[in-house]
A and B are shown apart, each in its own frame.
Chain A
Amino acid sequence: MNRATLILALLAAAVFETVRWPASPQPWCGAFDLLASLALAGLACGLRRPAARSLVVLALVAWPVAFEVTCRVLFAAGVAPEYVLLAIVRNLMFGLVHEPDPARRDDGPAALGNGLSLFLVVASLMFAETLHAGVPAAGYGLAGLWWLMGRSWDRLHGRFAEPSSRAGAQSSRKLPTAWRWGVLGTAVVLAVLAGFGAGGSKSTSAWAGFFLSSGGDRWHDSFAQGGVRDGDQLVGATKEAESFGPVESKLFMTDESPSLYDVASDLYGEACPKKNKEVTPAVGLSADDVLITEEHKARTQQSGREFSVVRRRSRPAPKLADRPSDALVYVQGRVPLHLRLETFDTFDGREWHRETEAPPARMFAVAKDNTPWIAIDRSESVPEPPVERHRLKVVRLDTARIPTPAHATAVRIDLVDRPEFFGWSADDVLFMPRRERVPALQVIHLESQAVEADRAFSTADTVPDGSDRIAQVARSWTRGVAPGRHVAAIVARLKADYVLDRDYRVPEACEDSVAEFLFVARRGPDYLFASAATRLLQSLGVPARVAVGLYANPARYERQGRQTPVFRDDLHVWTEVRVGRNVWATVDATPGYEVLPPPRSLAQRTWASVVGAGRWVVDRAELCIVLAALLSWAVAVRRTLLDRAAWCAWWLAQTLLPARRVEFTLRLLEWRMRLAGRPRPRGATFRRWYAHAALRPFVELATRALYRPATSEESAAARKVCAEVAGDWTWRRLAEKAVAE
């Protein structure tokens, strides 16, 4: 039964770790916390003295808090307080679930540990945001069912106590006094907390600062996910819409400022466009979507109320502080991501222009996953790679253009299901017509395909004569390279041979800034890299253009909010190449910038990791051979190595603590028997197990040392016997000699 409860506890811990893992800022934090907790729990299991065991259990309970504080102070990495509390519950469960006394395994602390494991699973699943935790939770459920069946089977198997002895059995099941007081205290605390919870927000707000996860006020926890008042996540509105922030909610659809939506539209119908005046398209909201807070409040105008002259000074209501953000846009989804806002295709040596007009895209409403989307049809479908989704949360963007990936296929804004809200500009950019800017704090869903630039090819009729230096350079860089790899060759050469220097400026007198960059300066900001790559590719006949937009940098990824903020600094210029009739792919030649690869399947990822590991091994063949040889040797002689290591530990221990020399020698002997594959069974006495005649003196010595009260074996003979056993009876000799009776 004890084994079953241990399995249940481990499964409950697995559920918790599966939930906590994505929320941990650093995965190693969670792993170290778990390993240290397991080590402490193992120590507690090995102790039989209640006092020592209680101390270790207390340390186990205190460990998550200490570790969290250390992580926050030293590494500025932490997790939400809810996870710290659950880690405390987990460790308490670990400390209680092992009961050394077989007779008490069904009641007392072990039973409490079982209850905690169930609580841990249920509470963890409340925080689960993915379905991954369902796997260990299902295992826990099955194991729990098996455990319950085992218990019931025991009882059905004629184990009911006789009526006369039942009173005794009941008295033995009573909790100790300390435990009873502990349970009572816990119940009182939980009742008080439940009372505060039932008292509503006013009740809990009065205790702001005492409850965990508080924030947005004088006291807040930057790692909080929510709680009393408004945590950082709430201010950021990544979880709830009641506070200010970019989140998909109807809350922002009733803004007084110019908006997409208008409550009046529902009541009076859509407004007719006025002549000579810009009209903002709007969507009507149903009456249910109007915030309750904006409803008319009843007021009494009758007399008869009292006027008191005994009054106390009213406390000023706490003001919620804004938590401003400098981000322009938040991106949820895979990064790095290039979000274009403008494109240019012609270069005159100093400036990029747009000369050709992109073919218009047809836009129409479609339903995907029971939600309305606006499909962007450019009369050419790309079968691969698969479509993926990103969420853009626009905080402030002073343009009506919507930042989109290179090959966007659909767009969605909540409740906006009419294609006339969107337009396709002449330079191939999605925008919102008849608006000055994209509405702030609105979530835009985008579907796109991360098309690879390998498909870019040179069209024969557009190949220039190649008489200029740039074309010669492009040809020299791509000489001997397959046509499909021209783009990669140009990008690799630029990234390898040129330096990103954001402060460099091309001389004003320069007539061809790209030539200046390529042949003279060999350094420059990102727009020079993009211009050079575009010019080089164009000179090879590859249709290419320059794109200006935002770069969602993976280095800025916020694990807590699972989003990537894009700041002003992330304005970026890159190249796009045409890979189909009307399909463009992102190419970035600037060092330090990466292009989002297509999403890969599990098999592709596995294969890539295998290939990567293989390449790593091949690149370091000599080192790997040496390491493999060393490892093989170590595996072959592992028992001898462990034997010698154990002897060193024995020598150190018996030198430092000579009074325990016999005990240490016996431990060494036991360890060597395990190495020899003959571990002493738990029910066998060592006198019977080490019955070899040559070991008899040591066995007699150990018998007296361990079982005879007030015995101190400090004689020279005892030292000699112990030294002989430690020196002569190696694991190999123990394996060869039949020592057991």
Chain B
Amino acid sequence: MNVVSAPPTSALASLAIDGLRAALNGVLLGKEDVVELVLACLLARGHLLLDDLPGLGKTTLAKALAHAVGGRFARIQCTPDLLPADVTGFNMFHPPTQSFEFVEGPVFTDVLLVDEINRATPRTQSALFEAMAERQVTIDNRCRTLTPSFFVIATQNPVESHGAYPLPEAQLDRFTMKLRIGYPDRDHELRMLAGEAREASRTAVLDPARLRSVQDEVAHVALCPSVREYLVDLARASRSHPAVTLGVSPRGLLTWQRAAQARAFLAGRDFVTPDDVQDVARPVLEVRLAGEFDAPLGVIDELLASVAVPVFPRGQEKRR
């Protein structure tokens, strides 16, 4: 029996999302849940931090996504001697014209892959603050706007601490999600050895304009007041949790809401449910919560278990 009406997403958006899914699942076997979260991050206009061991496909996934969404692609391989000007660009004297000309850095792109971001010095890491938060950079007192579809995929290796600079909380708060890919299971490793995993295709599934329109559509996914209250309750609970010294900021709360909207959109709904909020809670909170704990996921699960899920309408505002 089918009581529920058809999903509200437009056909074009649906096709585009299916194409993205196929492209990413083709290069990363057996990680459909990770791919869904990556797509949610993309549609929420957020930036993604991939944090995992070497060789698990972080860069492959980033490159595949960069190529699939189309537009310009740039890559920065972070090293300790990387300078901020290497990221943002610089003014260079041009003798024929006797003037300074601006040489754009890699941030002037649609998709930026920042590989091993924790190997760059904090000074260089900070060069990305303004670009990620406001999609603009200021060089020599001149503000230069980035493309509206500017999207950062950063990777980092959590185990090699020598010569690495951990990202400060202010930098982490600019990322929407922190994802771990994890090892594939046995069957998928066998399939990979059999050559079923494809190389990252150079063919774009989307273009920046279409991506932008889909992102606009995601921003209009509805939240009823009780779900909004649920989000706020969770955020406040994160601040009062005894093990957490830094809870979810208001900016983080907005990011969480956008991620939940994207998740609902990917599920074919035009409204957000508490399930969507919980689905994106782990990657969204893991990048933000700081405190005296070894396993942040355990704390996040505690938070989710401690706040009551809104089920029954309270008053009539639910129906408005």
Contacts and interface: CB of A to CB of B under 8 A. Distances in A.
Interface of A: 47-49, 52, 101-103, 154, 157-159, 663, 666-667, 670, 681-688, 697, 700-701, 703-704, 706-710, 713, 715, 717-718, 720-721
Interface string B288-320: 000010000000000011111101111100111
Nearest to B306: A683
Interface of B: 1-4, 222, 224, 226-227, 233, 236-237, 239-240, 242, 245, 269-275, 278, 292, 304-309, 311-315, 318-320
Given A102-B237, A154-B242, A717-B1, A49 B315 contact: yes
A670 B308 CA distance: 14
B275 A687 contact: yes
Nearest to A689: B309
A102 B233 CA distance: 8
Nearest to B303: A683
A700 B272 CA distance: 13
Contacts of A718: 3
A718 B315 CA distance: 22
A157 B311 contact: no
A106 to B, nearest CB: 9
B271 A708 contact: yes
Given A103-B236, A154-B242, A682 B272 contact: no
B222 A708 contact: yes
A474 to B, nearest CB: 78
Contacts of A688: 275
A682 B222 contact: no
Q: Classify the interface of chain A: helix, strand, loop or mixed.
A: helix
A709 B315 CA distance: 14
A703 B224 contact: no
Identify the interface centre among B226, B237, B311, B313: most chain A CB within 10 Å of its CB.
B311
A717 B1 CA distance: 9
B251 to A, nearest CB: 15
B234 to A, nearest CB: 10
B309 A663 contact: no
Contacts of A47: 314
5 shortest A-B CB distances, which residue pairs? A683-B305, A682-B308, A708-B271, A700-B4, A103-B236
Contacts of A48: 314-315
B273 A685 contact: yes
A697 B3 CA distance: 7
A663 B245 contact: no
Contacts of A101: 233, 236
B271 A721 contact: no
Q: Tell me which of A681, A700, A708, A710 has the highest count of chain B C-beta atoms within 10 A of its own C-beta.
A: A708
B221 to A, nearest CB: 11
Contacts of B312: 663, 666-667, 706
Given A159-B242, A666-B312, A706-B313, A701 B271 contact: no
Contacts of A715: 3
A737 to B, nearest CB: 18
Contacts of A159: 242
B3 A701 contact: yes
A375 B320 CA distance: 84
A159 to B, nearest CB: 7
Given A700-B3, A707-B224, A103 B240 contact: yes
A704 B264 CA distance: 12
15 contacts: A52-B315, A101-B233, A101-B236, A102-B240, A103-B239, A663-B313, A681-B305, A682-B306, A683-B309, A684-B305, A685-B274, A685-B275, A703-B273, A707-B227, A715-B3
A48 B226 CA distance: 11
Contacts of B240: 102-103
Contacts of A154: 242
Contacts of B275: 685, 687-688
A721 B273 contact: no
Contacts of B236: 101-103
A108 to B, nearest CB: 14
